[in-house]
């Protein structure tokens, strides 16, 4: 229960990692701090306004630790605290590491991880690069970490799922699906990797949650690759954290006139390592690994069985040309865009379809 007392403290507004750490050092445990008298808490050294928020929260939610434990059990959510054995050691090295985080999946605390981040509004070039990097680095044994946002993050996760393991760090609570179309992606990631968040499970995203999330991406990784980023992209916040934490910063170059590559080109100008492919990263880390590709289009597994709406969608996908999401939705009325995105991801991961720049065609032999 110790970690649930710790997480329950985080329910108080503004009562963050440093305040919780302060109470742990003074009282020796989160449980002791939770039940400490007000007069004792005043001696712990927490800023007055934060402590007042905690005292008010504890008074109105005396059973918060027990309620949180019950909620996590019912929702099949795991909680990891900084004192647990499965807390990633590399994450403890950063400034203000999360005292706890919620997750689904299986933690591998000592895995070698590489971050792949970029703009939400990617180009076809960025999509192709992110997919290839995710696929090939995961195949080489690295765990790919990203932020589960639209765009580059999503394609990095999707690439990694084809050949290995990936970790999604959310900018919202673990029970708040954002973006909605990535619901199926999160489920796929949790099956073989991890979906995690330090925010309360039902917290929606806001302007402040994403930069907070970005420090964890950088903190979990040996290095961070920026695929596409404009001059004010959130991905550059992640790269800044990476540099501050002594992690490697890699960047994919782009045309000098391309808006989505301006941030990457500036990173390279300022000292980031230019890379062209996954092999460049492996060379930097002296990792000897044969990069595995997924099966070619004429080797689709014949035993795949599709049912319901997935089977219906698959039937209208042609062999000889690509079809867009909109064209599918025009023919299949009983599915919306969010649901379609999840189904198409499932078909792609099962080896039934080929995806390129948001368009799909059936694999030869499918």
Is the pLDDT at 327 greater than 90? The verdict is no
95 within some domain: no
Helices and strands counted in the chain (H then E): 16, 12
Q: For residues 39 and 114, state if they share a domain.
A: no
85 within some domain: no
Q: For residues 68 and 150, state if they share a domain.
A: no
Report the domain count for the chain: 3
Is the pLDDT at 350 greater than 90? The verdict is no
pLDDT in tens, 62-79: 999 999 999 999 999 999
Q: What is the mean pLDDT of residues 207-221?
A: 95
Q: Which residue(s) pair with 274 in the sheet?
A: 251
Q: For residues 277 and 309, state if they share a domain.
A: no
CATH code, domain with 343: 1.10.10
Tell me which residue range forms the domain holding 254. Answer: 105-284
pLDDT in tens, 302-312: 456 788 888 88
Q: For residues 252 and 342, state if they share a domain.
A: no
Q: What is the pLDDT of the chain when averaged over all its residues?
A: 92
Q: For residues 201 and 319, state if they share a domain.
A: no
91 within some domain: no
Q: For residues 236 and 350, state if they share a domain.
A: no
Q: For residues 269 and 128, state if they share a domain.
A: yes
Question: What whole-number percentage of the chain has pLDDT above 70?
Answer: 94
pLDDT in tens, 177-194: 999 989 999 999 999 999
Residue 296's pLDDT is 43
Q: For residues 10 and 34, state if they share a domain.
A: yes
At 294, is the pLDDT very low, low, confident or very high (cuts 50, 70, 90)? Answer: low
Q: What is the mean pLDDT of residues 233-257?
A: 96
Is the pLDDT at 300 greater than 50? The verdict is no
94 within some domain: no
pTM: 0.83
Q: For residues 170 and 247, state if they share a domain.
A: yes
- Phi-psi map region of 45: left, alpha, beta (phi>0 left; psi -120 to 50 alpha): left
Across 325-345, b (16+ Cβ under 10 Å) vs e yields eeebeeebeebeeebbbbbbb
Q: What residues contact residue 214 under an 8 Å CB cut-off, 6+ apart?
A: 117, 147, 234, 237, 238, 241
92 within some domain: no
Choose the weakest-confidence range: 165-174, 251-260, 314-323, 356-365.
356-365
Tokens representing residue 220 in the block: 């979990």
Q: For residues 280 and 307, state if they share a domain.
A: no
């Amino acid at each position: 229960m110790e970690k649930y007392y710790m997480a329950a403290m985080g329910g108080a507004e503004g009562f963050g990692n440093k305040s919780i750490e302060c109470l742990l050092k003074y009282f020796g445990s989160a449980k002791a701090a939770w039940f400490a008298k007000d007069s004792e808490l005043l001696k712990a050294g927490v800023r007055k306004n934060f402590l007042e928020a905690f005292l008010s929260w504890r008074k109105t939610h005396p059973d918060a630790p027990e309620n949180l434990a019950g909620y996590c059990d019912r929702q099949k959510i795991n909680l990891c605290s900084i004192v647990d054995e499965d807390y990633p050691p590399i994450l403890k090295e950063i400034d203000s590491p999360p005292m706890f985080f919620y997750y689904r999946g299986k933690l591998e605390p000592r895995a070698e991880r590489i971050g792949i981040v970029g703009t939400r509004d990617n180009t076809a070039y960025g999509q192709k690069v992110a997919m290839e990097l995710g696929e090939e680095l995961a195949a080489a044994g690295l765990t790919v970490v990203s932020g589960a946002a639209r765009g580059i993050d999503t394609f990095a996760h999707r690439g990694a799922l084809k050949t290995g393991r990936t970790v999604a760090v959310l900018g919202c609570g673990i029970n708040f699906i954002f973006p909605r179309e990535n619901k199926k992606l999160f489920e796929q990631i949790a099956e073989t990797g991890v979906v995690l968040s330090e925010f309360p499970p039902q917290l929606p995203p806001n302007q402040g949650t994403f930069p907070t999330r970005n420090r964890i991406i950088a903190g979990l990784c040996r290095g961070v690759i920026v695929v596409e980023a404009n001059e004010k992209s959130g991905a550059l916040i992640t790269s800044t954290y990476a540099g501050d934490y002594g992690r490697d910063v890699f960047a994919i170059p782009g045309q000098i006139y391309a808006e989505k590559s301006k941030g990457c080109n500036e990173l390279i100008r300022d000292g980031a390592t230019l890379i062209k492919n996954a092999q460049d990263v492996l060379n930097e880390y002296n990792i000897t690994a044969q990069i595995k590709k997924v099966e070619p289009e004429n080797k689709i597994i014949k035993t795949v069985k599709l049912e319901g709406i997935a089977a219906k969608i698959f039937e209208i996908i042609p062999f000889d040309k690509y079809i867009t999401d909109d064209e599918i939705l025009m023919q299949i009325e009983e599915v919306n865009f969010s649901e379609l995105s999840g189904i198409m991801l499932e078909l792609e991961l099962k080896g039934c379809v080929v995806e390129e720049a948001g368009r799909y065609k059936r694999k030869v032999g499918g």
